[in-house]
Amino acid sequence: LGNRRCNDLRRAEAGRFFPEKPRHIEDSLGREHRFDRGLVRPDSRHFVMAAVGTSLLFRLASGGRAPAARTLFSSAARLHSVSAEAAEADKPSKIRDRYADLEDILANNRAWVEGMQKNDEHFFRRLGLGQRPKYFYIGCADSRVPANEIMGLGPGEVFVHRNVANLVVGTDMSLLACLQFSIERLDVDHIIVCGHYDCGGVRAALANKDHGPIEQWIGNIRDVARLHHKELSAITDDEARHRRLVELNVIEQCLNIFKVNHTQRRRLRSYKNGDTFTKPRVHGLVFDPAEGILHKLPINFKALTDPLNGLYDLYADHTNIV
């Protein structure tokens, strides 16, 4: 019986019997030893195999009373642990840093700081005094659309909020907090809603598929598609329909900004103050990742909001200030 079990272990070690499912082998006391590809490292597997085989023989010879076997098995386990640590240490430092300690990110940061200080030694001193951005940017969380970079702006020049598919939802307290802060405390001049082609959220809205909990969010884009169903259904090419819905979604989110009380209050005050233009001015942009170009959508907000003034205006002094 002992020889047969040890032979099973030797075949496993030789690689002739390593099935996809875990292999369980019982010892003389009915305990199971489990072996699979992911459990034992290739560089230390033979130590563990030998220890288990020796443990089985000792237990058979001593009637199950073999403390030395347990000591040997524990030693083999410790040896496996040391071997695993050594193998980890042998990995190239760049790989360990990137996936474990973020040392590459920290090194990039230090290089960036040095570069900024070389160009302007007082840059971080000014940055530490506070922010006065002119722009509030609402964009998609897609990693290909970094707000500062695509607009050619530096730190402190744009206040940013990002979410899936650049939505302005009346129940999104994170977005509303950023909007209120940008208007009332930062006093921004411009609010930008920026979508992008090849948007995963917009593609999800065009698919007849349940995406799980995020459906409650994607439903806001489906509502945009419903409002413009006639136009979208007339587009036969799927990619062209997607790109048009990206644009229509940006337009609808811009209109949602006009509905917010903070926006209306600030624009009314700006109009009464006789500012050069009514602030904050709302813009709709679309970024194309395939070419890197920002496209400004030709939106006539006056034509879109005039018919709805009686519905969405929140103040008694109804003045057309778009």
> Catalytic residue at 196?
yes
Distance CA 5, CA 56 (A): 8
Marked catalytic residue, from 6, 178, 194, 199: 199
> Catalytic residue at 161?
no
> Catalytic residue at 199?
yes
Distance CA 315, CA 258 (A): 13
Dump strand ranges (E) for the chain: 23-26, 32-35, 135-140, 158-163, 190-196, 281-288, 293-296
Task: Report yes or no: 291 and 196 within 8 Å, Cβ to Cβ.
Answer: no
Angle at 301 between CA 160 and CA 131, to 5 degrees: 25
28: number of Cβ within 10 Å: 19
> Catalytic residue at 194?
no
Marked catalytic residue, from 142, 161, 194, 241: 142
Task: Report yes or no: 135 and 152 within 8 Å, Cβ to Cβ.
Answer: no
Marked catalytic residue, from 5, 45, 140, 178: 140
> Catalytic residue at 144?
yes
Angle at 139 between CA 137 and CA 140, to 5 degrees: 165
Marked catalytic residue, from 33, 59, 196, 283: 196
Closest CA to 257 of 140, 160, 138: 138
Distance CA 8, CA 14 (A): 10
Marked catalytic residue, from 11, 24, 144, 269: 144
Q: Which residues are catalytic?
A: 140, 142, 144, 196, 199
